Structure 1
């Protein structure tokens, strides 16, 4: 099916990165449960909430700072290099698709990127190493050196609007595909989880590779319950 596909839309979730040591969000023992992201509106309202958000951010960063692309990420990169997949849509914020060799244009990050920060007022990019040095020295949440605005990790928090351009790009790829390939996503986070259904309704075949069942399994053409890395490695070797 992969070989015959003209345009593949890849869609990745946390399951593709767990092999790297990046924790998924919903497991009962996940460190995300002890360091939950601060809701966006609370982050805006409260300096104390921003201070706590940055503390939790750096705690989580320390847990997977040495994470490297998995066999799954490399398999995706091989599909892109082979011209099968124009870009990968991801719910992840770990930058591992880029680390596997993909350009920013080949990665549609629906939930942002946790490897840098931006000013919510002027959009200026801020590097985390500098922010951390300032934060640990002062204990105060960072503000933008250019305009004084609130600085936040470049991720989409609960309650924060998803960037329209990214969602539109993801939708366009889904509708252009004849194969929609889900890798390691529970398919319960919306609006991202609507994309496989829309692709399927538009005539694409739907393949889901995930360790646990998803709400769309009964609508998929193929469901594979297993580890993503070995499966994608075999697919990439067959190209």
Structure 2
């Protein structure tokens, strides 16, 4: 593994860090990603249909498939890994840290990042909302009913996990907060995300235009590599361990060689 670093001034103690995380940060916790070699969409392309809002709302079969996938989802038994814990450590270090996550697994909060410092851009699988009356209940309670197409007990409406499906707009308030955080960051980390899904990926552009150092930690190339101050290919847990320590002011934690890193 190699890392291309355009400049290393970013590797310093800072006051404000924004962190965008994708599925890649949770794979070491046993949760598969979506577009990798063994990703959910890669191994079962037809599964995308069940995660499309229009199809979910119009088809009982699609709803049954989605609920079935959540019943045995790896996230229910997953534990935070070293990458989640590194970000939690950074949030306790005195550095103003905000995590903007595309993940719905809740592992950042379980690792110790305060809930108020985490923006769940794509929602959370841990809550379920009625599409008719808006009532919210824990998803585990819905799954415990063991029904293929559970209905709202209050109004009979369609229940949907509180996640953003394909064809569904992001919450404008949450997205607006994320854009403000990206624009105010001194260093903006993009971790374990392909940066192919908009409008979330454009948070990187907002950060760079505002003068932040963009640091990408990802196994594969992304559309934003060319504007990043550093592109790091080493394993996410290993990389975040020293990156977070460096940003907190522990310079001795940084690797001895700047280029390449983690060869």
- Using the size of structure 1 for normalisation, the TM-score is 0.91
From 85, 89, 106, the counterpart of 2:96: 85
From 48, 58, 63, the counterpart of 2:61: 48
CA RMSD of superposed structures (Å): 1.7
Counterpart position of 1:29: 38
Unaligned runs of 5+ in 2: 1-9, 249-263
Counterpart position of 1:218: 226
Query: Residues 108-161 of structure 1: CA distance to partner in whole angstroms, max 9, x if unpaired?
Result: 111111122111223222222321232x2xx44112222322110111000111
Q: Secondary structure at the match of 1:157?
A: coil
From 84, 92, 110, the counterpart of 1:73: 84
- Name the CA distance, whole Å, in 2 between partners of 1:122 and 1:82: 42
CA-CA distance at 1:98 after TM superposition: 0.8
CA-CA distance at 1:237 after TM superposition: 4.3
Point out 4+ residue stretches in structure 1 off by more than 4 angstroms: none
Query: Quick check: 154-163 or 100-109, which moved more?
Result: 100-109
Q: Within 5 A, what are the aligned runs for 1:53-202?
A: 53-59=66-72, 61=73, 63-134=74-145, 136=146, 139-202=147-210
Instruction: Indicate yes or no: 2:29 matched with 1:20.
Output: yes
Q: Secondary structure at the match of 2:144?
A: helix
Residue pair 1:10, 1:85 contacting (<8 A) in 2 also = no
CA-CA distance at 1:4 after TM superposition: 2.9
Q: Secondary structure at the match of 1:83?
A: coil
Structure 1 pair 45–226 and aligned structure 2 pair: CA distance change class (3 A) = same
Question: Which is bigger in relative contact order (C-alpha 8 A, separation at least 6)?
Answer: 2
- Name the CA distance, whole Å, in 2 between partners of 1:200 and 1:235: 18
Counterpart position of 2:17: 8
- Name the CA distance, whole Å, in 2 between partners of 1:58 and 1:196: 34
Structure 1 pair 236–86 and aligned structure 2 pair: CA distance change class (3 A) = closer
Query: Residues 146-197 of structure 1: CA distance to partner in whole angstroms, max 9, x if unpaired?
Result: 2322110111000111111110110010011111111111110110000001
- Using the size of structure 2 for normalisation, the TM-score is 0.83
